[in-house]
Structure 1
Amino acid sequence: FNLLKFPDRQQALEKIRDLTCLSDILPTGYHGAVTAGVGPGSTVYVAGAGPVGLAAAASAQLLGAAAIIVGDVNPARIAHAKAVGFETVDLSQDASLGEQVAQILGVPEVDSAIDAVGFEARGHGHEGAKHEAPATVLNSLMEITRAAGKIGIPGLYVTDDPGGVDSAAKSGSLSLRLGLGWAKSHNFMTGQTPVMQYNRAL
């Protein structure tokens, strides 16, 4: 479901630069946007301004989102996201994510949220951003996603992490506020990207 085989090797090699977009990063970001329910007029928050996050933000544009906000703790990545036209929030600041979203949208929530960070997430705020906090992204997305909204999770989560910050993280367990997601009737989608589902459209 995620391996594309091209019938003509020579033709594929001639177009390899174009085809590389279909190989991993773009479909992963696109999958995050699709599973987050992004559509015309949506307001979208993307956690992570790395390659997958920017692919998710670009995909949200393709799907018709009205407002796309990208958040990160890395100043260079934030600057790049801003330079290519996305609204940005700096998660190393002490203002909460909801407060920063409200400064842009006028309300502290979005229709759709995408986790393009995964298990190596850092905390929020001046001090929090200095330390790994694997559940931070998912918990913050539940806080800012509107009731009945969707959260796409292309960010990688693992079954075990020997370098995890605590015993729970080492076994792939996270302290999630799942009760909040339940109370807000959120829809979560995660897992490997089914590239073949998207390759023709992309």
Structure 2
Amino acid sequence: MASIPPEKGIIMKAVVYQGPRDVQIIDVPDARIERPTDVLVRITTTNICGSDLHMYEGRTDFETGRWFGHENMGQVIEVGDGVDKVQVGDWVVLPFNVACGHCKNCERGLTNYCLTAQPNPAWAGAAYGFADMGPWAGGQAELLRVPWGDFNCLRLGEDAEQKQTDYVMLADIFPTGYHATELAHVKPGDQTVVYGAGPVGAMAAYSAIIKGASKVMVVDRHPDRLRLIEEIGAIPIDDSKVDPVEAVTEMTMGLGADNGCECVGYQAHDPGGQEDPTLTLNRLVKSVRFTGEIGVVGVYVPQDPGATNDLAKQGKVAFDFGEFWFRGQKLGSGQCPVKKYNRALRDLVAGGKATPSWIVSHELGLDEAPDAYEHFDNRDEGWTKVVLHPDAATAAA
């Protein structure tokens, strides 16, 4: 077994969930090699994700005492005896999907629905530090154990340390935004509408532009997010000022967009602050043309005890299926199989063709995570994407 001994001994710091809207930096047992195929990574960069907020707000059954973190990168410090490819010293970024690489779904490229990493036989799919996605510890900590390391680690080039805020986006939001455009079949010349200008929606818009969409419209109401969207060449639509369906229709000669991406999920709110899990779905149906296609990557859950109505508490939504059927539209949904895209997106970053770090608003040390969660959850002005550096030296650089 090759290794660089962890510096912290038997404990490490992690962002630990203590209850709704309460996270604390707590010393927890060090991550360690447990199986021959494991890789141990010293985390240098980890993101706070919008999906973390569902758990932070108490809208899932995430257990008290677990720690967050599914968008992770860092440097390998130890490998198990069964690891062949990954070496100590490698810089790696980890897909948020924990996947075995050899089950039926993984063999089909559906690492988002791994049957091995998910211990509940009635479910599929696993992730680091995520509710109902297996027992895997998160990476908002100083160390991370990566199972099936040869399969799950994406190795990075010589520029990894300098481009950490770009490469860490390969763990989730860049591939997830790209996946939305794949589900919607965005093609060169298309007119595409994206609902949600949070980090994933921003990456969906960015991906559509990279793919050559002729017009990308993004619906949101947060001024700081809409300003960022405009900077990359997309068209911002403020749904607190205009009807977004009418705006998209007017911009597409009355036809509607060729395709659309849903990047908000079950906690969508109208401009008045009323929660409505059907809001973006039904608006997309009316914003996309007859026979158009829709990709849904915003999170929807099988049950939501904190929902405002009985239907939503059961994970059900009043979807305008009649309108959807009448228009002959197609809809794709689900979590992103990150490994399907991360190699190609890595090479776009390495070649200077993509710089997803434009979404980053804050780089902070791990100790600042509790305040960062509060600001991000409040959607405070300017808090668009938070990157945490457990390595203090990196945070100060």
TM-score after normalising by structure 2: 0.47
Task: Please state how far the C-alpha of 1:138 moved relative to its aligned partner.
Answer: 0.4
* 1:141 alignment partner, one of 280, 284, 302: 284
Query: Identity percentage over the alignment?
Result: 35
Task: Please tell me the residue identity of whatever aligns with 1:11.
Answer: D
**8 Å contact from structure 2 (residues 258, 292) kept in 1:** yes
Does residue 79 of structure 1 match 2:158?
Answer: no
How many angstroms apart in 1 are the aligned matches of 2:269 and 2:302? Answer: 19
Residue of structure 2 in register with 1:7 after alignment: 86
Task: Please tell me the residue identity of whatever aligns with 1:192.
Answer: Q
Q: How many residues align?
A: 195
**8 Å contact from structure 1 (residues 91, 129) kept in 2:** no
Unaligned 5+ segments in structure 1 are none
Residue of structure 1 in register with 2:256 after alignment: 109
Unaligned 5+ segments in structure 2 are 1-71, 74-82, 93-157, 346-397
Residue of structure 2 in register with 1:155 after alignment: 298
Is the deviation greater in 156-165 or in 46-55? 156-165
Task: Please state how far the C-alpha of 1:201 moved relative to its aligned partner.
Answer: 1.6
How many angstroms apart in 2 are the aligned matches of 1:100 and 1:8? Answer: 52
How many angstroms apart in 1 are the aligned matches of 2:276 and 2:225? Answer: 19
How many angstroms apart in 2 are the aligned matches of 1:133 and 1:66? Answer: 31
Greater Cα radius of gyration, structure 1 or 2: 2
How many angstroms apart in 2 are the aligned matches of 1:130 and 1:21? Answer: 29
Does residue 54 of structure 1 match 2:202?
Answer: yes
Deviations 1:21-76 (A, max 9, x none): 21001000000011111001000000000100000000001111000001102222
How many angstroms apart in 2 are the aligned matches of 1:166 and 1:130? Answer: 15
Residue of structure 2 in register with 1:69 after alignment: 217
Task: Please tell me the residue identity of whatever aligns with 1:118.
Answer: G
**8 Å contact from structure 2 (residues 257, 289) kept in 1:** yes
* 1:29 alignment partner, one of 151, 174, 177: 177
Task: Please tell me the residue identity of whatever aligns with 2:172.
Answer: D
Task: Please state how far the C-alpha of 1:80 moved relative to its aligned partner.
Answer: 2.1
* 1:119 alignment partner, one of 254, 258, 266: 266
Richer in strand (by share): 2
Query: SS of the residue aligned with 1:201?
Result: helix
CA RMSD of aligned residues (A): 2.1
Task: Please state how far the C-alpha of 1:84 moved relative to its aligned partner.
Answer: 2.9
Does residue 176 of structure 1 match 2:319?
Answer: yes
**Which stretches of structure 1, 4 residues or longer, exceed 4 Å deviation after superposition?**
3-6
Task: Please tell me the residue identity of whatever aligns with 1:12.
Answer: W
Is the deviation greater in 9-18 or in 82-91? 9-18
Determine which structure has greater relative contact order: mean sequence separation of CA pairs < 8 Å that are 6+ residues apart, divided by chain length.
1
**8 Å contact from structure 2 (residues 277, 317) kept in 1:** yes
TM-score after normalising by structure 1: 0.89
Task: Please tell me the residue identity of whatever aligns with 2:89.
Answer: Q
